[in-house]
Every structure is written in C-alpha cells, then in structure tokens.
Amino acid sequence: MADKIKKSEQAWRETLTDEQFHVCREKGTERAFSGAYWDTKTAGVYKCSACGEPLFSSQTKFDSGTGWPSFWKPMSPEAVETETDSSYGMTRTEVHCRRCGSHLGHVFPDGPQPTGMRYCINSLSLDLQADEAAEAGEK
C-alpha cells in the first residue's frame, strides 16, 4: 500500500467532482440503483476514485439486491479501514479508504460466504479499471 495521502478539503474539491466530493469527503450516499457500478459485470479492479488505491476485485463482487456495488471482501485487509457510524439514528460500520480516508460506504454481516460480509459501496467512491481481456471483449 502506498503512503497515506493528506490534502486540504480545498485540494480535494479541486480534484473531485461535486458528487464525488459529497460522497468521499462529506460521507454522503448516492441513491440506490443510480450509480455507475451497481449492476456492472465487467472484470477488473475497483480503485478509490479519490486516490487510485486498489480496493476491491470484480471477483468478489455480487448482486446484493441493494442497488449499490457489493463485495464480500476487499482486495487486501490493508485496503480499507472501518469505524463506527452512529448517524441517522442507527449504528453501522463505515468503510473508508485506508490511503486517503475517503468514505466508501458501509459493511454489514449479511453477505455471502466465505466471509459473510457485504461491503456496500458507493459507485462515486470507485473507479473501475477493467481487465485488458474484458476490454477487448467489449470492443
């Protein structure tokens, strides 16, 4: 994993779209079934849209029926960090990029085996780098 990135909020505003800034830096959430990747089947690596850190593999992506991209594990234990989120009158576990601290979404213990976890992630927090073979098949 690369070194942690520290930027001012103004620097983040200059590099992210308004929607990405809202989700990644202000812990916003995109509407269900509205993101670019909720139904994507393309093979590749999902990277942090803010810093480019590899976060999730398409091999661990599954259809959770929630309207957000869902994964049963991150690419490595070091890719993400979690913390308790007590907003909106409920307690959840927030997931953020370990490298830059961007909010990604939440993780729940109701996913498929082998982990039983569901990393429910905002598409705006992700940038899909498609495998070359997958890209060749789409042309």
Residues catalogued as catalytic = 120
Taking CA atoms, 113 is separated from 18, 34, 71, 116, in Å, by: 36, 27, 11, 5
Length of the chain: 139
Nearest to 71 by CA among 57, 83, 54: 57
CA angle 76, 60, 1 (to 5 degrees): 20
What are the helix (H) ranges across the chain?
Answer: 9-15, 18-26, 132-138
The two three-digit tokens of residue 19, written as one number? 């929607």
Rounded distance between C-alpha atoms, residue 5 and residue 15, angstroms: 13
